[in-house]
């Protein structure tokens, strides 16, 4: 028998165990092992029922994603599942952890399914740019109905075991030992003389509903909500096939659609995004024996926009957190904001009132630094001003216990200088959350030059606890995300001076897939933030370079974005829909005139190149300087913090897929036409000359 699949006889029951850590993915060895095991169980005349279960933390979590894009190897998963389903002896899948993708499809191939109450089942293929390609789109609707199948397959969201029972996906729940539960169920099947009940032969799910209506509605919803995505419409098409074709033909149609998805560039980008996120957790240079400290309590200094959001992250994770403000009045406002934020979730129905009150008890407001003496970690989120940061860090250093980590949420200040305000620079780290901190998944972990390995490891582990995607970055102005976005925003504004309107630029970038256009985004966060950064950066700006002027003019006119009712757009009171701002049109005409630019119509491709390649060129500089560990980390930052479309894999992966020689040619053209902001990054030149990609480059080369 293969190493990863074991077949044993327990009396007249065949027990098949998969053991392929970490997640029992269906690589070729597992597929071959399953085929052999089920065939042997079938051939063994003493066997009367079959149990399939997995060792480790989970049932099969899907196909082996690493095999995608490589030549297929036999047996294929659909072939294996056909053998499982076709067996003449009743089989049961015993599910714990997560049965996902091909894992759930294997379970659906078994004749019965039982699950632990905390197990989850789902078909998340769509998140990888795929559709379930081993019968999931044909068998699930036959069991659970078209509506539920469409929901699960198009959203990719798993459901809990109890819900799976309601929808006939799982037959019953069990507690306790997997083997005992599986054998007990199998014996019952034998005693009751149960025949195989094949999912592919079921019809209950397809009856009694307006399937054509459900399909049409989902099709319309996907077309509207997921424009530009390749696989979701094909998921709908595959389920539609299940409603009208016999199983064998439906499976054939599913395979065709699956192969189309498999070959699409979006699949490659989404799989890149999946592995990049996991890779980001691996910190170069961190010794393997470093273990993170336990963080049992935390404090946040400053209860403004960020501080409150950060405090809520801890409360959401069940950790007590102290929130410190300058006086009772400011503290009262901060605590009210915490309550209001949860209140909005209660209103939306995503949080219960009881859960809200429980979480709020974890947030303790304080005004005295002495209250911070016993916490394991403090995150400072006060004004972005070095003088204020100095005061805070000196006080923290004085009151916090030895071993307490002192973190700053600064978005642009020099973390090494902040660390130097303390006598424990090795305990200082940057924890750069993104607004709204309780919602956004990204956490840039800023490694100062003295930050210790243990503090870094603890920060990464904390990211997981807070359900964030933590990415290590180095110290520089804006770290990775904001340093790049600054280039992007500046070029977007230069486009306005050349002749575009904010509406055109925003629309082009939304069509590209960005969650929001740069001008709508700036209006949302406030134009004064950028103005302050430009003010600081102007002091050290190399000769011959300057910023566009329109944003400063808007600030001077008091148009700071949504909060003042106007910025790049105009907003009616109480309405966030952007309208044209006539004052801006005049400012743009004047700016173009002043610079001697003849305004012209800009096409979408130019708008994309000018903004996205600005990200890429800066990303290349960041890599070369060692501010990011690897190009995929930059992608993770952009996918999780800046609304970059996952189906394009992130800015660096996008550049790789366009071809670095093509990108470089355009960067050089822009350099010649627009000046030194566009100086090509040496790394971009080097890789383009070598015919390589950012993904192939390794730090330290």
Residue 64 contacts ligand 3HC per CB under 6 A: yes
Can residue 409 be called a binding residue for ligand NAI (CB under 6 A)? yes
CB of 124 to ligand 3HC, least distance (A): 4
DSSP string, 154-200: HH---EEHHHHHHTTSS-EE--S-HHHHHHHHHHHHHHTTPPP--GG
CA–CA gap between residue 532 and residue 518 (Å, rounded): 18
Residue closest to ligand NAI, measured at CB: 304
Q: Does 306 bind ligand NAI (CB under 6 A)?
A: yes
Q: Which is nearer to ligand NAI, 186 or 379 (CB)?
A: 379
**Does residue 63 interact with ligand 3HC by CB under 6 A?**
yes
| Element at 430 (helix H, strand E) | strand 428-433
Tell me the C-alpha to C-alpha distance, in Å, between residue 286 and each of 8, 282, 452, 462.
42, 8, 10, 16
Please name the residue that has the structure tokens 């950790």: 319
Nearer to ligand NAI (CB atom), residue 526 or residue 650 = 526
**Nearest distance from residue 158's CB to ligand 3HC, in Å?**
8
CB-side neighbour CA atoms (13 Å) of 398: 9
Binding residues with ligand 3HC: total (CB under 6 A): 25
User: HEC profile for 533-592?
Assistant: HHHHHHCCCCCCCCCCCHHHHHHHCCCCEHHHCECCEECCCCCCCCEECHHHHHHHHHHH
Minimum CB separation of residue 35 from ligand 3HC in Å reads 15
In the region spanning residues 5 to 44, those forming contacts with ligand 3HC, defined by CB under 6 A, are 22-23, 25
- Residue 65 contacts ligand 3HC per CB under 6 A: yes
Residue whose CB is less far from ligand NAI, 301 or 655: 301
Does the protein bind ligand NAI through residue 439 (CB under 6 A)? Answer: no
Q: How far is the CB of 699 from ligand 3HC (least distance, A)?
A: 18
Residues 450-509 that bind ligand 3HC (CB under 6 A): none
Q: Which of 74, 391 has the CB closer to ligand NAI? A: 391
Is 125 known to be catalytic? yes
312 in contact with ligand NAI (CB under 6 A): no
- How many Å apart are CA 178 and CA 174, to the nearest integer? 9
Q: Which of ligand NAI, ligand 3HC, none does residue 22 bind to, with CB < 5 to 8 Å depending on kind?
A: ligand 3HC
321-324, strands of its sheet edge to edge = 363-366, 321-324, 298-301, 377-380, 405-408, 428-433, 442-446, 469-473
Kindly state whether residue 406 participates in binding ligand NAI, applying the rule CB under 6 A: no
Contacts of ligand 3HC in 102-141 (CB under 6 A): 102, 105, 124-125, 128, 130, 132-134, 136
What distance in Å separates the CA atoms of residue 445 and residue 380, rounded to the nearest whole number? 14
Which residue in the set 58, 98, 410, 551 belongs to the binding site for ligand NAI (CB under 6 A)? 410
Which option in ligand 3HC, ligand NAI, none does residue 411 bind, with CB closer than 5 to 8 A by kind? ligand NAI
**Buried-exposed string 601-624: b where 16+ CB fall within 10 A, e elsewhere:** ebeeebbbbbbbbbbbbbbbbbbb
- When CB distances are held under 5 to 8 angstroms depending on the partner's kind, the choice from ligand NAI, ligand 3HC, none that residue 109 binds is none
Strands 91-95 and 112-115: parallel
Cα separation, 647 vs 270, in Å, equals 5
Among 307, 481, 517, 680, binds ligand NAI (CB under 6 A): 307
Query: Minimum CB separation from ligand NAI for residue 308, in Å?
Result: 8
Rounded to the nearest whole angstrom, what is the least distance from the CB of residue 34 to ligand 3HC in the complex? 14
> Residue 640, interface with ligand NAI (CB under 6 A)?
no
Question: Of 33, 87, 90, 101, which lies in the binding site for ligand 3HC, with binding defined by CB under 6 A?
Answer: 101
Asked if 62 interacts with ligand 3HC (CB under 6 A), we say yes
Q: Does 384 bind ligand NAI (CB under 6 A)?
A: yes
If we measure between CA atoms, which residue out of 388, 391, 321 comes closest to residue 360? 321
Pair 78, 42: CB distance under 8 Å: no
Given 42, 82, 85, 105, which residue is catalytic? 105
Q: Indicate the residue among 124 and 200 with the shorter CB distance to ligand 3HC.
A: 124
Give alpha helix (H) positions in 18-114.
Answer: 28-43, 77-86, 102-109
**Shortest approach of ligand NAI to residue 348 CB, angstroms?**
22
From the list 52, 56, 61, the residue with the least C-alpha distance to 26 is: 61
Q: In sequence order, which residues have a C-beta less than 8 Å from that of residue 277 and are 6 or more positions away?
A: 469, 636, 639, 640
301 is an interface residue for ligand NAI by CB under 6 A: yes
Annotation says 556 is catalytic: no
How near is the Cβ of 9 to ligand 3HC at its closest, in Å?
A: 30
**Contact (Cβ atoms closer than 8 angstroms) between residue 201 and residue 140:** no
Q: Count the site residues for ligand NAI by CB under 6 A.
A: 25
Active-site hit among 85, 125, 240, 454: 125
Nearest to residue 96, comparing CAs of 81, 75, 115, 123? 115
Helix (H, G, I), strand (E, B) or coil at 98: strand
Dist. CA 2–CA 38, nearest whole Å: 13
- Regarding beta strands 298-301 and 321-324, do their DSSP bridges make them parallel or antiparallel, or are they unpaired? parallel
Q: Which positions are annotated as active-site residues?
A: 105, 125
Q: Which residues bind ligand 3HC (CB under 6 A)?
A: 22-23, 25, 61-66, 77, 98, 100-102, 105, 124-125, 128, 130, 132-134, 136, 275, 278
Q: Which residues bind ligand NAI (CB under 6 A)?
A: 301-307, 324-326, 330, 381-384, 388, 391-392, 409-411, 433-435, 525
């Amino acid at each position: 028998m293969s190493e990863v699949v074991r077949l044993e006889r327990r009396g007249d029951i065949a027990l098949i165990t998969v053991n392929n850590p970490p997640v029992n993915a269906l690589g070729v060895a597992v597929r071959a092992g399953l085929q052999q095991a089920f065939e042997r169980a079938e051939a063994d005349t003493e066997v009367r029922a079959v149990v399939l279960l997995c060792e480790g933390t989970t049932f099969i979590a899907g196909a082996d994603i690493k095999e995608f894009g490589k030549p297929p190897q036999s047996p294929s998963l659909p072939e294996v599942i056909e053998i499982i389903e076709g067996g003449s002896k009743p089989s049961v899948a015993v599910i714990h952890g997560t049965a996902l993708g091909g894992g759930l499809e294997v379970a659906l191939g078994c004749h019965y399914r039982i699950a632990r109450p905390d197990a989850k089942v789902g078909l998340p293929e769509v998140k990888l740019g795929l559709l379930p390609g081993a019968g999931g789109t044909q068998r699930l609707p036959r069991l659970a109905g078209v509506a539920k199948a469409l929901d699960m397959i198009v959203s990719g969201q798993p459901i809990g075991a109890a819900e799976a029972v309601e929808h006939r996906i799982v037959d019953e729940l069990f507690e306790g030992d997997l083997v005992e539960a599986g054998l007990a169920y199998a014996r019952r099947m034998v005693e009751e003389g149960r025949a195989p009940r094949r999912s592919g032969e079921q019809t209950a799910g397809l009856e009694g509903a307006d399937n054509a209506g459900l399909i049409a509605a989902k099709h319309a919803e996907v077309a509207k909500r997921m424009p530009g995505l390749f696989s979701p419409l094909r998921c709908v098409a595959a389920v539609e096939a299940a409603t009208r074709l016999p199983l064998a033909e439906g499976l054939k149609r599913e395979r065709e659609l699956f192969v189309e998805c498999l070959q699409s560039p979006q699949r490659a980008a989404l799989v890149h995004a999946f592995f990049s996120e996991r890779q980001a957790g691996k910190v170069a240079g961190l010794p393997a024996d470093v273990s993170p400290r336990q963080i049992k309590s935390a404090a946040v200094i400053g209860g403004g926009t960020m501080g409150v959001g950060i405090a809520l992250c801890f409360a959401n994770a069940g950790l007590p957190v102290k929130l410190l403000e300058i006086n009772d009045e400011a503290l009262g406002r901060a605590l009210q904001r915490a309550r209001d934020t949860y209140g909005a979730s209660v209103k939306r129905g995503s949080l219960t009132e009881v859960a809200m009150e429980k979480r709020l008890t974890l947030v303790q407001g304080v005004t005295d630094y002495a209250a911070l003496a016993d916490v394991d970690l403090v995150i400072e989120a006060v004004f972005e001003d070095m003088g204020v940061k100095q005061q805070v860090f000196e006080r923290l250093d004085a009151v916090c216990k030895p071993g307490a980590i002192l973190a700053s949420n600064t978005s642009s200040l020099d973390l090494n200088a902040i660390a130097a305000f303390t006598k424990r620079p090795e305990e200082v780290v940057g924890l750069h959350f993104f607004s709204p901190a309780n919602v956004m998944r990204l956490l840039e972990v800023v490694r100062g030059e003295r930050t210790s390995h243990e503090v870094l490891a603890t920060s990464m582990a904390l990211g997981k606890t807070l359900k964030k995607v933590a990415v290590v970055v180095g110290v520089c102005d804006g770290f990775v995300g904001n340093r790049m976005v600054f280039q992007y925003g500046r070029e977007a504004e230069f486009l306005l001076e050349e002749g575009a309107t904010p509406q055109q630029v925003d629309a082009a970038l939304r069509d590209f897939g960005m969650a929001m256009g740069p001008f709508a985004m700036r209006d949302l966060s406030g134009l004064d933030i950028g103005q302050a950064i430009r003010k600081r950066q102007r002091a050290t700006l190399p000769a011959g370079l300057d910023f566009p002027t329109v944003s400063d003019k808007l600030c001077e006119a008091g148009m700071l974005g949504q909060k003042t009712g106007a910025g790049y757009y105009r907003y009616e009171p109480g309405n966030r829909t952007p309208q044209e701002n006539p004052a801006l049109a005049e400012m743009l005409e004047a700016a173009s005139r002043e610079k001697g630019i003849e305004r012209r119509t800009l096409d979408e491709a130019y708008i994309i190149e000018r903004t996205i390649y600005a990200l890429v060129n800066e990303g290349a500089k960041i890599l070369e300087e060692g501010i990011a560990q690897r190009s995929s980390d930059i992608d993770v930052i952009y996918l999780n913090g800046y609304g970059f479309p996952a189906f394009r894999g992130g800015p660096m992966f996008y550049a790789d897929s366009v071809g670095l020689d093509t990108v470089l040619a355009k960067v050089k053209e822009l350099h010649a036409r627009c000046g030194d902001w566009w100086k090509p990054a040496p790394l971009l030149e080097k890789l383009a000359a070598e015919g390589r990609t950012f993904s192939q480059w390794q730090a330290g080369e």
